[in-house]
Amino acid sequence: MRWLKVMLLSMVTTMAAHGVVSKTALGKMPDGTVIDLYTLKGDGIEASIMTYGARIISIKTADRNGISENVVLGYNNLDAYLADKTTYFGAIVGRYGNRIALGKFSIDGHQYQVPVNNNANSLHGGPMGFDKLVWQAHEVANGVEMTLVSKDGDMGYPGTLTAHVRYTVQHQALRIDYNVSTDKPTVVNLTNHAYFNLSGDPKKNTILNEEIEIPADKYTPVDSGLIPTGELASVEGTPFDFRKLMTIGDRINNNNAQLKIAGGYDHNWVLRGSNGEMKTAARLYDPKSGRVLTVTTTEPGVQFYSGNFLDGAKFGKAGEGHAKNSGLCLETQHFPDSPNRPSFPSTLLKPGENRRSTTIFTFSTQK
């Protein structure tokens, strides 16, 4: 009978581990490829991830009154995601998230040219980055793992890159684990591009009344093309000082050259602690709902983007759109244009290496 008890216990454990995950077909790509949606239910959180772009399409969590709402921007159908080529809602962006100046970089003396799609620069891997590809998926305990194989020469990048991105939920948190490897030296910088609005109602409430804390003493100023100048500038005495909780809208329109370049915040903060060490990247608080988001990561930087380029444009047959400042991004990452800045933490990946990183979005409430 002991073997039966062990077998039954094993079955219950497996069911408990996998019972929080469900899978449905969301729609089809123009070529007929089925896009699957995985819904992950945990303690106080429900997250939905689809295989197109390995995207987070919703995160539902409760406010201080126990009312659960979606706190990320997105669309109600696949058609709108396919039509939207510019916002990257909820997607894993790569092979290189953020910008590379002029789309050029060198490895071992060989210069590579990748497509430019953001004025004169390359953004988020180019016009057919990882956000516009279909990832393979399989269920894991409390979540789903997405896999993409990007072949040598894809968007001009060298090496066949294999990327695994695992989403899991537990204890009011959504955890993202990244694991990448290559067969040829390449550069890689993966991140998730979710837009948060903790009010749960982005049509009525912008993020300008939300409060943010970023425990960073320095940030990377940018030129007119939003490419880092190479300086690690002190936040002291600037609108970029979020070492204490500050309302986002209080200084966003200050007469500051960096804010004017970006039309708000679209900059990388240099996080305290070493690369690979788990650290706090940001804390976001919405006074109206009481929701709190704490972002922790092993990455060296975080890009705080205040949704400056959202303009209400409507996409897809449903004609859904999102207004300026209706959401914000907290993209944990290596720094923009690192391949051209030897003083920045390196994004070079070599054969035989497995680069791993973790980012955790933890939700709570306060009165």
Residue range 105-137, pLDDT digits in tens: 999 999 999 999 999 999 999 999 999 999 999
Beta bridge partners of 17: none
Residue range 261-276, pLDDT digits in tens: 999 999 999 999 999 9
Mean pLDDT of 234-259: 98
Residue 289 burial class via C-beta count within 10 angstroms: exposed 0-12, middle 13-18, buried 19 and up: buried
124, 193, 267, 334: which one is catalytic? 193
Could you give the percent of the chain with pLDDT greater than 70?
A: 95
Band (pLDDT 50/70/90 cuts) for residue 9 is: very low
What pLDDT score was predicted for residue 367?
A: 86
146, 130 Cβ separation under 8 angstroms = no
Can you say whether the dihedral through the CA atoms of 253, 256, 259, 260 is positive or negative?
A: positive
User: Residue 40 has which token pair?
Assistant: 């992950």
Could you give the percent of the chain with pLDDT greater than 90?
A: 93
Determine the Cα–Cα distance for residues 118 and 124; give it in Å rounded to an integer. Answer: 9
Residue range 301-343, pLDDT digits in tens: 999 999 999 999 999 998 999 999 999 999 999 999 999 999 9
145, 211, 299, 331: which one is catalytic? 331
Q: What is the DSSP string of 338-363?
A: GGG-TTSPP-EE-TT--EEEEEEEEE
B/e letters for 252-272, b = 16+ CB within 10 Å, e = fewer, are: beeeeebbebbebbbbbbbbe
Band (pLDDT 50/70/90 cuts) for residue 191 is: very high
Question: What average pLDDT does the chain have?
Answer: 94
Beta bridge partners of 61: 69
What pLDDT score was predicted for residue 125?
A: 98
Residue range 223-233, pLDDT digits in tens: 999 999 999 99
Residue range 341-361, pLDDT digits in tens: 999 999 999 999 999 999 999
Decide if pLDDT at 3 tops 90: no
CATH label of the domain that carries residue 78: 2.70.98.10
Q: Which domain holds residue 22?
A: 2-365
Q: For 22, how many CA atoms within 13 A lie in the half-sphere containing its CB?
A: 7
The domain total for the chain is 1
331 catalytic per annotation: yes
Q: For 190, how many CA atoms within 13 A lie in the half-sphere containing its CB?
A: 29
Mean pLDDT of 189-218: 98
SS3 218: strand
